[in-house]
Amino acid sequence: MRLIASVRVAVVLATAAGLGACETMLVQGAGEALGRTVVEGVALETTGRLAAGQRPGRAGARATSTSPATGVAFDHAAGLQMRPCDDETPRCVVLFDPAAAAFMRDLLTVQVFAGPLEAVAAAEGGFERNAQGRLMTTWGRFEPVAVEAFEVNGRPGLRAVVTCGISDPETGFHAAGGECLWAVVSDGIRSVVIASSGFPNGLEAAETAVGSIRFTAD
């Protein structure tokens, strides 16, 4: 799992400034917003119906993003954007808010791995069974947190919110200053891992994504 602003500091997401050539087109009509972004050969499509008079980014407006690179789709607030993860990480995208301050712009990562739910959750999220057989977190600050089982769009999932680190340019690094949502959803063959930043906007975006995630390709 790729964790933003968390204790797994070896993983660092590239900022928007590090992107290569990017072509963006936006077409709007009859209340329907359609966006398509091509970044270094990776197509990311976003669609969402806006209420009359709403503009992208206004509270309550929603969109759906589909990433052919990952084979999943999920909902998010209108105005948010996706880009491929840094370092050519396979089957991985970042959801970010271009209007947010740079240090809290990256909201979450979505990455797809081959394997069933619990195997991927253990390897990529640190979700492991304790002596009593209960799934618990093994990464994050302080005591382990119980992992919650859930279902979304007919697919089983596992999730937990853990205390994690955040950093800002004014006050520096806070080892236990944030809350990160880690979640895994599987179709039995592939598992998608969602990891939020520790900031409130990242946690909010992850809750929406996790509650709507679905596989779009075999």
Beta carbons of 173 and 165 less than 8 angstroms apart = yes
> At CA 203, angle to CA 151 and CA 107, rounded to 5?
110
Residue 178's pLDDT band (cuts 50, 70, 90): confident
Which residues are within 8 A (CB) of 51 and not within 5 positions of it... i.e. 6 or more apart? 31, 60, 61
Domain residue ranges of the chain, discontinuous segments joined by +: 71-215
Architecture of domain 71-215: 3-Layer(aba) Sandwich (3.40)
Torsions phi, psi for 2 (to 5 deg):
-95, 120
> Are the beta carbons of 105 and 96 closer than 8 angstroms?
yes
Q: Kindly list the distances between the CA atom of residue 19 and the CA atoms of 13, 39, 91, 108, in Å, as whole numbers in the listed order.
A: 11, 8, 17, 17
| Maximum distance among all Cα pairs of the chain, rounded to whole angstroms | 57
DSSP 8-state code for residue 175: E
In sequence order, the 6+-apart residues with CB closer than 8 A to the CB of 145 are: 136, 137, 160, 161, 162
Q: Tell me which H or E stretch contains 135.
A: strand 135-137
- Of residues 58 and 105, more confidently modeled: 105
Would you state the pLDDT for residue 44?
43
- Percent pLDDT > 70 in the chain is 72
| Dist CA 152 CA 77 (whole Å) | 19
pLDDT at position 8 is 32
pLDDT at 99 over 50: yes
54-90 tens-digit pLDDT: 333 445 789 999 988 899 999 999 999 999 998 778 9
Nearest CA to 35 out of 100, 81, 97 is that of 81
Query: Which amino acid, 144?
Result: P
- Classified as helix, coil or strand, 2 is coil
pTM of the model: 0.73
Other Cβ atoms within 10 Å of 92 Cβ, number: 21
- What is the pLDDT confidence band of residue 181, given thresholds at 50, 70 and 90? very high
